[in-house]
Structure 1
Amino acid sequence: MFTAEFWDERYGSKDRVWSGNPNPHLVTTVAGLAPGDALDVGSGEGADAAWLAGQGWRVTGVDVSTVALGRAAAHAVERGEQVAERISWQQVDVLSWDPAPAQYDLVSAQFMHLPRPALEALHRRLAAVVRPGGTLLIVGHHPSDLDTAIGRPRMPELMFTAEQVAATLDERDWEIRAETPGREVTDPDGNPVTIHDAVLTAVRRG
């Protein structure tokens, strides 16, 4: 499930995999930030990248799947020429890819789930390309979601807490906020269920 082939097949299996809306934690985090250069990691069908570009950000969107990237580029064009022009798309394998020496004012990785050693290594590489004063935003499924009836894969080793992400950062260099907010969704039977996200927001000290 960590290969381009897996994700190309998944995206190719239906017209749309995700909602097409930007992730809510990204929207909340960016609300108080001045637009600059953003890196959207695991950009999927491009909703986050297109939304950021619509807010005036210059965005680099990366994903392992060329099918997803093609769909993302088309989504950006649908949002308008100015949005599409602010985004560059790259096909990368995050297991080995290093974004350095580029630098960004915002680095966002939403719901990237990898084996723990690979995930921690990725988080360190992402942190390294945040400019002074810039923001690192990492969001994932909290392990407590395994106890809900919403169809999460029974793979606890791929879930993490915000505190685990925070442990990869040096507090001398970062202002760190680790949170586990809840949000309400609907289970397959139509019942409301509260799930919890792992949300790490860190600002590099300047």
Structure 2
Amino acid sequence: MKSPLTVVIIEDDERFRAAFAASVSAAPDMRLAGTAADLPQGLQLLRDSRPDVVLVDLGLPSGSGIELIRFAHQQLPDTDVMVVSVFGDEPHVMASLEAGATGYLLKDTRAADLTEQIRTLHAGGSPISPVIARQLLLRLAPGPQPPVAGDDGLLSAQERQVLTYSAKGFNFEEIARMMGVSRHTVMTYVKRSYRKLQVHSKTEAIYEARKLGLVRD
């Protein structure tokens, strides 16, 4: 039988901490390894429990959750870190991701949905609130590309966008979230681009699109 995911919650707001803890405790495939309300307690809890997943707020007493993210990233490489915060501005988001967070949810996320996001995170995904995903999309969106004679209309704007994000290392689930469409729609764009480029894999598609000037890094 598979061992349950161990989860630590570091959150200073008692209402959110209790709601998140109740959600995790109710999941049959998870075990709440502990909660903490400030930075020193959080650091000690991480050292003692070495959890599979840590949920961390950024605005903590006695310091920033960024310190916890950085500690987990450097000292606990097997621990996945997800921010759950009221801060959705670009400086906080980018600082968290650069420190090592691989998920970022705003506190408007329902506690009932939290366990599914934890599963996605531990499975290798990057749960991101739509507002945050849009910020990242706008930050990473390619600038205007010069037309290429005979090939400018080969791929649609959406097909080029999917290949551009694929070239940056995003998986199809992440691309779907950033584009605000379903995974099925992303796969439709992928299949169309394969057919138009006469290729059979993502690697070949990215190579051909780069060669034609349709995608750039």
Which structure's residues are more often strand, by fraction?
1
Which structure's residues are more often helix, by fraction?
2
Place the TM-score, normalised by the shorter chain, in its bin.
Answer: 0.3 to 0.5
TM-score (norm 2): 0.33
Structure 1 or 2, whichever has the larger Rg, is 2
TM-score (norm 1): 0.34
Greater relative contact order (CA < 8 Å, ≥ 6 in sequence): 1
